[in-house]
Each structure stands twice: as C-alpha cells, then as structure tokens.
Amino acid sequence: MEVVDIDARAAKLGIDWSQVNFDSIQLPPGEDFGIESDDEAVYQDDQSEFDTGFGNIIVVDHLPVVPKEKFEKLEGVVKKIYNQLGVIKENGLWMPVDPDTKMTLGYCFIEFNTPQEAQNAKEKSHGYKLDKSHIFAVNMFDDFDRLMNVKEEWEPPQARPYVPGENLQKWLTDEKARDQLVIRSGPDTEVFWNDTRQKAPEPVHKRPYWTESYVQWSPLGTYLVTLHKQGAAVWGGADTFTRLMRYQHSMVKLVDFSPGEKYLVTYHSQEPSNPRDASKVEIKVFDVRTGRMMRDFKGSADEFSIGGPGGVAGASWPVFRWAGGKDDKYFAKLSKNTISVYETETFSLIDKKSMKVDNVVDICWSPTDSILSLFVPEQGGGNQPAKVALVQIPSKVELRQKNLFSVSDCKMYWQSSGEYLAVKVDRYTKTKKSTYSGFELFRIKERDIPIEVLELDNKNDKIIAFAWEPKGHRFAVIHGDQPRPDVSFYSMKTAQNTGRVSKLATLKAKQANALFWSPTGKYIILAGLKGFNGQLEFFNVDELETMATAEHFMATDIEWDPTGRYVATAVTSVHEMENGFTIWSFNGIMLYRILKDHFFQLAWRPRPPSFLTAEKEEEIAKTLKKYSKKYEAEDQDVSLLLSEQDREKRKALKEEWEKWVMQWKSLHEEEKLVRQNLRDGEVSDVEEDEYEAKEVEFEDLIDVTEEIVQES
C-alpha cells in the first residue's frame, strides 16, 4: 500500500495518526499480513544451516578387508598414519566389522579433536597408497549425505534465463548533458544534478544514513560505494540508485577501485589490544560485478607499510596501487625492502616472487602503461646514491634509472596520459643545513627515455605545489615564500623548442597554495585554501591571462566537474561556520551557492573517457560555433522562463502578503476602541502623527560676574 492510500484509508476510518502509539501494537506471532519483510537478513537466517557437529569426523575408505586376527594390526597402522596428521580423540577410531563373517568392511571412521585437523587429514591422506591395491579414499563425514545423493547420470545444468540488467550508464544520456554530484551533510547523503541553467541542484536521490563513514564513486562513475558495518555495497542503475552488489567485510574502513572498476579493494584494520603490537590489517579484493572475493590478505600493519622511522602508524592507503590503463591487470604493494606485484588473472605474484629493492620508499604507476616508477633514498651516509628507476611490468626490466646525490626527498608526479614523469628532488645544500628543489623530467614516450634537469630561476625557492596539465604538456608550480609565492608555468614542448622544457610565464606574488587544472587542460585555478581564506584565481594558460578572481571564504576543497565546465568549491565541517558549497563556471562566474550544516563531502560523478577520436574532437572544437548556437538558444529560453517564473512567484508572494496586511488592518481597525479603553481613552494609535515638532529656544542665565580689566 502506498503511504497516500494508507492516509486516505485512515482518514476514512477517522484515525488520527498522531494519536496512535505504534509501539503498543503487537501482531500475533508469525503474522505478517501478507507483507513481506524487505529485511534480507530474515531470509538469510532461514537458509543458514546448522552444524551437524560431525565436522571433525572423516571416513577412510578402501582399507584392506581383514579377518578378526588382523584387526588390531590394521587398527594400529591406521592410527599410526592419522596420528601424524592430527590428534585422534580417545576411542575416536571405529572400524565396523561384518557381524556374519567377522571380517572388516574396508572402511573406518576417525574422529579428530578439531574440524581443522579433520580437514587437514582429509586433504593430506586422500589418495594415500597403503599398498598397490589399497589407495585411501577419504571424505568428510558431513559430505556423505551429499555424495550419496549424487545422481548416477549427469544432468546438464539448467540454463537460467537471461535477465537484462539495468543500464548503468543511463546518467550519461541526460538530455541536458548535466553532471551529477554526491554530497554528504549531517546524516544525509544526496545525489544531485548540477543544473546550472536553473541555478540550483536538481535532486536525484536522497537517503539518510546511506553510509556509515563516507561514499565514493568508482573511477568511471558507474557505481557509488557505501560503507557499512557488514561490508561495502555498490549502488547505481538507470533511474534511482539501487543496490547492485554487496561485499562482505565486517568493519570495513577504506575502499579503493581498480581504474577499470573491475575490482574493489576493501580494508579493515584493528587496533591491537596490546599497544606494543602492530595493528592487524585485513584486505580483500572483490570482483565488482560478481561480488566474488578474489583474494584476501591478512597480517600485521608492518607487512603493509614501509615502516617509517617513528614506528608504524598503520598502513598508508591505498595499500595496493593499480597499474594504469583499463585492463586492471596488475597491482602492487610496497612493503619493507620489497615491491610485490600481483596480476589479476590468478591473483598471485608475478613469477611467484616479489621484487627485492633495498630501502625502497615510494612507488608510482604510470597512469596508462604498466610501468612502475620507484624511488630509493640515499644510503650509507651518502656513499650509495639515491635512485629513481622505471621498471616495466611484467618483465621487471629496468627501463631507465637515474642516480641522484645529496638528496633529502623525492616526489614523483606522472602526467595523466603517461607521457611525462616529473620527479621533484629536494637536495641538501653544501652545508646540509637547508634544502633546495629541482625537477628531473622523464619523457617516457621518446626513445631511450631522455631525462632533463630543470631548476627554478631562483633555485632556493621552496616548492609549494606542482601540477601537470591533464592530457597536456604543461605544468604549473607554486614556488617561493609564503604568504605571497610566485606561480610559474612550463611547457615540455613549445613551437620553437620541441625537445626541451621551457618557461612560459611567472606570475608574481599570488595568494595561492594549491593548483587545480581543469580536466580538459587550458584553465587552472590558483587557490589559496585554508590559511588564505579561499582566494580563487581563474587563469587561462593559453592566453596567460586572469579570467576572474573570486573568493569562497574559508574554502577547504575544490573539485572540477569531469567535463571541465564547472567547479565546485566547498567548506567542509573542518570549519564550524559557512558549511556548504558553491558552483562556479570554468571562467569564474559564481552560479549558485548551497549552505548545509555539517557538510562532510562533495564528489562529482566521474565520466568514462569519450568515445570520440582525437580528430573528431578537434573538428568539433573548430566548428564549435555551429553547435553553440543551439545551446545558447536553449539557455536563453530557460533563463527567460526562469525570470518569468521568478516574477510570477514574487507577484504571488506580494499578493499573499497584501492579503494578510489587509486582514490585519481590518482587525486593527475593529479593535481600535478596545485599545482606546485600555489606554484610558487616549485616542492616538501610532498611525497619525498628532504632535508637531516645535523648536524652542531656551536661554538660562546661570551666573553673572563683573570683572574690571585694567588698562595697561
């Protein structure tokens, strides 16, 4: 029954819901009035099987058939074999004897102390050759019923009829080509369309307590994953968000998708009861579509981290880093002195071996190829230089390496299409008291992978932020001293200089500490987050000009939508005040702002890469005018409609208000006499000014003294 129907019926019967105490109603046990519970746990309970209690018993078949005299000897032999595999319970061995012939029947039952031992014994002794004609056939006692019921003839399995799934990509076919975003505030998780024409978000789906910690989109936007006590769940579908699959992993804390969203990695760690122990970590890898667990990893946190100097603070997420590309073929784990690379066909280590790299501290996959970059710091007090290397997987061949001297730290930044790798190197000065930074730039796609060294104009500048242009050949660096550092743009190839890096421009004294490139490149936001109160500068790197400057006071997060048309800036609940988000156009025009208390998270739904070829895209870019006309007309229609609606709404509000005021006025008039009486007959209400302002000059002589001034 729909809620509306229920209400209607209640009204008919004269029931006031507010008077009904639902807790006092008790249904007869077992009665559900034909309403099926949607609590799936109820069904699971029904299906769960009880342990028979025979889990620790095995049945050993194909024993020799022996007469009574040899019984004890055989018993001795069997006991000897199985005592090696586990502890047999007292009187735990029973070898039935044919009461007529007094011969054994050729099998026996053995009861172990624990089911694990039984399982182990079964596995180890199945197929054991006592002699040529007696090869043991061992089964669990619990399996016996099942095995007895196996039909003599093989039946082909029933083919289940094909049920077409929902179109998981439906949101991409939105007529207005809008993007979706998810936000979490208070207990609610909401998915919106970013409708910039309406200057407001259009709700898609909202649920309170949808997740217990956070939500995350899959990398191609197909799924939304939520975290629960029992595990993770993914949601998606054509119209609303329905649950597509669940992944059981109790107390899951973190999740991560493979880039092609084939696999989901879940992570759970447990604080040790003894503070000196490392915390326990459990990681599971699931197949997203089937929900099958492909592999799980358990161990102490030490095994999943490189063990920093100041003790282990838990593993750094993601523990497993996925190789680039859409194949989801490899993933790697970094632990002390080893890099373990797994492949997803068998979910085992490549070549069954981890790679031993002494003291390796950081690894990074190329976003598109199966190339792993790794960094090893200096050792032996500088005797052994630091090293950055590129390793091809699965061959584990080192493609390129570079030794670096007096290095304090390295950070690796891959360009999004895997063409370049920038390594920011912090080196000690001669006195070793301070550091300065430079870059090593690798050109991956060129022959022999040439390396170029780049130093900033003032090499003592501190580097505050670095970012590659997505799919492009440029990068931006914030360098210099707070609070007004400089921002420089470099290009890996300019028209004059194809093989060398060259500087495009330096912007002096900007209030910025973070860089956000548009996902399509060309535009960048120079942002001053946190300490800079949310200064935003929208910059066009092609023209090298500022398009707009703005401020989202206290902004903590900035995220571009996947098309690069809009930007969301948000103040999350790290601040008490001003929680909420603002949507801007790419060129820095504020479109709308939504305030939400206890605002935790905002995430755009990613889009899969476009199917258009590069040529086609270029062609569209060239003939953009043709397309834009259509959209501009649509925009105008909508904005006309909106202003019309707005006018109507205002008119309605004004009329409503006038009505109230009229009502009040007449009441006020009616009550005039009563009021007069209350005031002892004083006539005036406030409405008429019956008094007149008069200016009165008032002179008061206070004191007069006479003084004779002597003439000199």
Partner 1 sequence: MRPILMKGHERPLTFLRYNREGDLLFSCAKDHTPTLWFADNGERLGTYRGHNGAVWCCDVSRDSSRLITGSADQTAKLWDVKSGKELFTFKFNAPTRSVDFAVGDRLAVITTDHFVDRTAAIHVKRIAEDPEEQDAESVLVLHCPDGKKRINRAVWGPLNQTIVSGGEDKVIRIWDAETGKLLKQSDEEVGHKKDITSLCKAADDSHFLTGSLDKTAKLWDMRTLTLLKTYTTVVPVNAVSLSPLLNHVVLGGGQDASAVTTTDHRAGKFEAKFYDKILQEEIGGVKGHFGPINALAFNPDGKSFSSGGEDGYVRLHHFDSDYFNIKI
Q: Which residues contact 452 (CB under 8 A, 6 or more apart)?
A: 440, 441, 443, 500, 501
Nearer to partner 1 by C-beta: 502 or 663? 663
Q: Give yes or no for residue 664 binding partner 1 (CB under 8 A).
A: yes
Taking CB under 8 A as the binding criterion, the range among 40-48, 183-191, 664-672, 700-708 that sits at the site for partner 1 is: 664-672
Nearer to partner 1 by C-beta: 399 or 591? 591
Nearer to partner 1 by C-beta: 166 or 576? 576
Relative to beta strand 134-135, strand 137-140 is unpaired
Nearer to partner 1 by C-beta: 126 or 199? 199
Q: Please state, in angstroms and rounded to a whole number, the distance separating the CA atoms of residues 518 and 465.
A: 16
Nearer to partner 1 by C-beta: 348 or 684? 684
| Both structure tokens of 650 | 């205002």
| Both structure tokens of 425 | 């190197």
Contact indicator for 63, 108 with CB cutoff of 8 Å: yes
Nearer to partner 1 by C-beta: 238 or 678? 678
Q: Give yes or no for residue 654 binding partner 1 (CB under 8 A).
A: yes
Q: Give yes or no for residue 678 binding partner 1 (CB under 8 A).
A: yes
DSSP per-residue string spanning 423-448: EEEEEE-TTSSSEEEEEEEEETTSTT
Q: Please state, in angstroms and rounded to a whole number, the distance separating the CA atoms of residues 155 and 462.
A: 73
Nearer to partner 1 by C-beta: 553 or 627? 553
Q: Please state, in angstroms and rounded to a whole number, the distance separating the CA atoms of residues 671 and 228.
A: 62
Choose, by CB under 8 A, the member of 503, 575, 607, 642 that binds partner 1.
Answer: 575
Nearer to partner 1 by C-beta: 11 or 652? 652
Q: Please state, in angstroms and rounded to a whole number, the distance separating the CA atoms of residues 350 and 570.
A: 43
Which of 12-30 are b and which e, b meaning 16 or more Cβ less than 10 Å from the residue's Cβ? Answer: eeeeeeeeeeeeeeeeeee
**Residue 488 buriedness (CB in 10 A; 0-12 / 13-18 / 19+):** buried
Taking CB under 8 A as the binding criterion, the range among 123-131, 316-324, 476-484, 671-679 that sits at the site for partner 1 is: 671-679
DSSP per-residue string spanning 404-424: ESSEEEEEEEE-TTSSEEEEE
Q: How far is CA 64 from the centre of its chain?
A: 61
Q: Please state, in angstroms and rounded to a whole number, the distance separating the CA atoms of residues 347 and 258.
A: 14
Taking CB under 8 A as the binding criterion, the range among 49-57, 540-548, 631-639, 667-675 that sits at the site for partner 1 is: 667-675
Strand blocks (E) in 39-167: 57-61, 88-94, 107-112, 129-131, 134-135, 137-140
Helix axes 614-622, 624-670, angle to 10 degrees: 60
What's the min distance (Å) between Cβ of 696 and partner 1?
14
Choose, by CB under 8 A, the member of 397, 686, 701, 704 that binds partner 1.
Answer: 686
Rule CB under 8 A: which of 92-131 touch partner 1? none
What's the min distance (Å) between Cβ of 678 and partner 1?
4
Q: Give yes or no for residue 553 binding partner 1 (CB under 8 A).
A: yes
Q: Give yes or no for residue 650 binding partner 1 (CB under 8 A).
A: yes
What's the min distance (Å) between Cβ of 580 and partner 1?
8
Nearer to partner 1 by C-beta: 5 or 687? 687
Q: Which of 584, 521, 522, 575 shows the shortest CA–CA distance to 550?
A: 584
Q: Please state, in angstroms and rounded to a whole number, the distance separating the CA atoms of residues 242 and 645.
A: 34
What's the min distance (Å) between Cβ of 677 and partner 1?
8
What's the min distance (Å) between Cβ of 485 and partner 1?
21
Nearer to partner 1 by C-beta: 3 or 397? 3
Taking CB under 8 A as the binding criterion, the range among 157-165, 267-275, 417-425, 670-678 that sits at the site for partner 1 is: 670-678
Helix, coil or strand: residue 660:
helix
Tell me the site size for partner 1, rule CB under 8 A.
Answer: 29
Q: Which residues contact 525 (CB under 8 A, 6 or more apart)?
A: 515, 516, 536, 537, 538, 539, 558, 567
Q: Any idea which residue has 């062609």 for tokens? A: 619
Q: Give yes or no for residue 680 binding partner 1 (CB under 8 A).
A: yes
Nearer to partner 1 by C-beta: 612 or 661? 661
Nearer to partner 1 by C-beta: 597 or 635? 597
What's the min distance (Å) between Cβ of 201 and partner 1?
16
Nearer to partner 1 by C-beta: 512 or 554? 554
Q: Which of 494, 512, 500 shows the shortest CA–CA distance to 549?
A: 512
Q: Give yes or no for residue 653 binding partner 1 (CB under 8 A).
A: yes
Rule CB under 8 A: which of 350-409 touch partner 1? none
String marking each residue 584-623 x if it binds partner 1 according to CB under 8 A: -----------x-x--------------------------
Nearer to partner 1 by C-beta: 621 or 686? 686
What's the min distance (Å) between Cβ of 208 and partner 1?
16
Q: Give yes or no for residue 667 binding partner 1 (CB under 8 A).
A: yes
What's the min distance (Å) between Cβ of 597 and partner 1?
8
What's the min distance (Å) between Cβ of 687 and partner 1?
9
The neighbouring-strand residues paired with 123 are none
What's the min distance (Å) between Cβ of 17 and partner 1?
13
Q: Please state, in angstroms and rounded to a whole number, the distance separating the CA atoms of residues 301 and 635.
A: 55
Choose, by CB under 8 A, the member of 68, 336, 508, 668 that binds partner 1.
Answer: 668
| 194 DSSP assignment | E
Taking CB under 8 A as the binding criterion, the range among 168-176, 270-278, 371-379, 650-658 that sits at the site for partner 1 is: 650-658
Q: Give yes or no for residue 691 binding partner 1 (CB under 8 A).
A: yes
Q: What are the helix (H) ranges across 137-263?
A: 144-148
Nearer to partner 1 by C-beta: 74 or 200? 200
Q: Give yes or no for residue 578 binding partner 1 (CB under 8 A).
A: yes
Contact indicator for 108, 121 with CB cutoff of 8 Å: no
What's the min distance (Å) between Cβ of 695 and partner 1?
14
What's the min distance (Å) between Cβ of 656 and partner 1?
8
Q: Which of 431, 391, 442, 441 shows the shortest CA–CA distance to 408?
A: 431
Q: Please state, in angstroms and rounded to a whole number, the distance separating the CA atoms of residues 541 and 472.
A: 11
Rule CB under 8 A: which of 520-549 touch partner 1? 533
Q: Which of 592, 547, 597, 550 shows the shortest CA–CA distance to 572?
A: 597
Q: Give yes or no for residue 679 binding partner 1 (CB under 8 A).
A: yes
What's the min distance (Å) between Cβ of 686 and partner 1?
6
Q: Give yes or no for residue 696 binding partner 1 (CB under 8 A).
A: no
Q: Interface residues with partner 1 (CB under 8 A)?
A: 533, 553-554, 575-578, 595, 597, 650, 653-654, 657, 660-661, 664-665, 667-668, 671, 674-675, 678-680, 682, 685-686, 691
